[in-house]
Amino acid sequence: MDRMPHLPLHLPIRPRRNRKSAAVRGLVRETSLSAQHFIYPLFLSGTEADEDIASMPGCKRWSTAGLLAEIGKAAAAGVQAVVLFPRILDALKTRDAAEACNPDGLVPQTIRAIKAAHPGVVVITDVALDPYSSDGHDGLVSDDGIIMNDETVEVLCRQALTHARAGADIVSPSDMMDGRVAAIREALDGKGFTDVSILSYTAKYASACYGPFRGALDSAPRAGDKKTYQMDPANVREAVRETMLDEAEGADMVMVKPAGMYLDVIRAVRETTALPVAAYQVSGEYLMIKSAAAAGWLDEKRIVLESLTAIRRAGADMILTYFARQAAEWLRE
Ligand code: PBG
């Protein structure tokens, strides 16, 4: 026979008391989300036009004028940092990725334009060869198809110096070569750029979530995949090891990428180091949200803010997200 309990229950402990009003929920909220934590990834078209990106609806490849206007709008909503990704014309792509070190290339020119128009905005640059490489890999490829570590690191140092000379505040190696943080630190310091920071892509996984980004930049590998340098999605201790190495090599900040499916990795990295931790909500994560929202299946604003809050809760200080400007605007409403 079913016996109903006598009401009211004798419950001295009722967690719902801490949820009873918006003000009480605000008092006990453990994680905050604000625009100062956002880093806005922006694509550079290298042309006079702002171009739609077929693989990333809602994002554009910006002309310099369009970019400066977009940064102004993001800054007005409180976003103080951007990271730049250039689309390099096929004609400029070579096996040695020499364009990556051109002092008058698209990235250095754009850094100077941002610094002139928005001196307070933190300019972060991506250090890796894939947009410039005719092989579409982050490193130099040998004749027999090997991604060559030490030879690549030398080019990355020159690329980082090119960005520093143009005025970058932070260089961000995303290539996953061994030893590049120490080498870049030494190269920067050797030329007097002791104030330029290194945000290392410390735990960057060989993820299916980068497809739309490679479409945006035309930077997919011509042959093979990135599994000999990017990490196996099955691993987390390896992320801890990479974190310890990057910290010892002099990284100022470390990053986990992707973010949403790797919250446990963010937590593990957070607990390994006292350095600031960034997480990158990548193009595939962006598209999963965008496409579900476009179909009317999810409430875009709520899912975006929830996904970003979850990344912060896992332990990220900073979040790179294509929603940066939009989320900042929502947070101001
Ligand atoms: C390239 C780079 C990639 C991303 C950032 N830098 C692509 C890759 O590693 O293939 C991906 C970002 C995204 O998917 O949003 N070094």
Ligand 1: nearest atom to the Cα of 41: 15
pLDDT in tens, 211-264: 999 988 888 998 999 999 999 999 999 999 999 999 999 999 999 999 999 999
In this structure, the residue with its CA closest to atom 8 of ligand 1 is 210
55, 174, 177, 323: residue to mutate for ligand 1 pocket, most atoms within 8 A of CB: 174
The set of catalytic residues is: 204, 257
Q: Is the pLDDT of residue 1 over 70?
A: no
Model pLDDT for residues 191-214, shown as the tens digit of each residue:
999 999 999 999 999 999 999 999
pLDDT tens-digit series, residues 160-188: 999 999 999 999 999 999 999 999 999 99
For ligand 1, atom 2: residue with the closest CA: 174
Ligand 1: atom nearest CA of 210 is 14
In the prediction, which pLDDT does 215 show? Answer: 86
Give the span between the Cα atoms of 304 and 149, in whole angstroms: 37
- Average confidence (pLDDT) over 81-92: 97
Question: For residue 8, how far is its CA from the centre of ligand 1 (angstroms)?
Answer: 56
From residue 57, give the alpha-carbon distance in Å to each of 46, 47, 61, 259: 19, 19, 11, 20
| Cα–ligand 1 centroid distance for 229 (angstroms) | 13
Query: How many whole angstroms from 88 Cα to the centroid of ligand 1?
Result: 15
For residue 298, pLDDT beyond 70: yes
What single-letter amino acid sits at 331? L
Of 53, 213, 261, 287, which is best to mutate to test ligand 1, by the most ligand atoms within 8 angstroms of its C-beta? 213
The distance between the two most distant Cα atoms of the chain, rounded to a whole number of Å, is: 83
Sign (positive or negative) of CA dihedral 240, 247, 111, 177 = negative
| Ligand 1: nearest atom to the Cα of 213 | 14
Cα 283 to averaged position of ligand 1 atoms, centre (Å) = 8
Ligand 1 centroid – CA 203 distance (Å) = 13
**pLDDT at 286 (0 to 100):** 98
Cα of 301 vs centre of ligand 1, distance in Å, is: 25
* Backbone angles phi and psi of 45, in degrees to 5: -80, -30
Q: Which of 44, 172, 281, 282 to mutate to test the pocket of ligand 1 (most atoms within 8 A of CB)?
A: 282
Q: What is the mean pLDDT of residues 26-31?
A: 98
Q: What's the CA gap between 125 and 25, in Å, rounded?
A: 38
Model pLDDT, residue 4: 76
Amino acid identity of residue 184, one-letter, is I
Confidence of residue 71 (pLDDT cuts 50, 70, 90): very high
What is the chain's mean pLDDT, rounded? 96
**Is residue 68 within 8 Å of 117, Cβ to Cβ?**
yes
Terminus-to-terminus CA distance in the chain, angstroms? 54
Domains of the chain: 36-332 (3.20.20.70)
* Nearest ligand 1 atom, CA 286: 15
CB 83 within 8 A of CB 126: yes
From the alpha carbon of 322, which atom of ligand 1 is closest? Answer: 15
Write out residues with Cβ below 6 Å of ligand 1: 126, 128, 130, 138, 174-175, 209-210, 213-214, 226, 282-283
DSSP state, residue 231: B
